[in-house]
Amino acid sequence: MGKDSTYLKEIVEPGVFKEWQEVDAVVYAFTDLGMKVAINDEYTGLVYKNEVYENLQLGQGLKAFIKCVREDGRIDVSLQPRQENHVVSTTDNILEVLKAAGGELGFNDSSSPEEIKNKFQISKRVFKQAIGVLYKQRKIKITDKGIEIVK
Q: Which uninterrupted H or E stretch holds 105? A: strand 104-105
| pLDDT above 90 as % of the chain | 60
What pTM value is reported for the model?
A: 0.60
- Residue 77: predicted pLDDT: 96
Whether the per-residue pLDDT at 3 is higher than 80: the answer is: no
Strand order in the sheet with 140-142: 104-105, 147-149, 140-142
Q: Which amino acid is it at 100?
A: A
pLDDT tens digits for 52-111?
A: 878 899 999 999 999 999 999 999 999 887 766 667 778 888 999 999 999 999 998 889
- Residue 4: predicted pLDDT: 65
Which of 109, 107, 105 is CA-nearest to residue 148? 105
| CA dihedral for 93, 128, 47, 70, sign (positive or negative) | positive
Q: Which CATH architecture has domain 22-78?
A: Beta Barrel (2.40)
Q: Where are the domains of the chain?
A: 22-78, 83-149
Q: Where are the beta strands (DSSP E) in the chain?
A: 22-30, 34-39, 43-48, 61-69, 75-78, 104-105, 140-142, 147-149
Written out in words, the top-level CATH class of the domain with range 83-149 is mainly alpha
Torsions phi, psi of 52, nearest 5? -105, 120
Whether the per-residue pLDDT at 43 is higher than 90: the answer is: yes
What mean pLDDT value characterizes the chain? 89
Residues paired with 26 in a beta bridge: 38, 61
pLDDT tens digits for 115-128?
A: 998 888 888 888 99
Q: pLDDT band at residue 1, thresholds of 50, 70 and 90?
A: very low
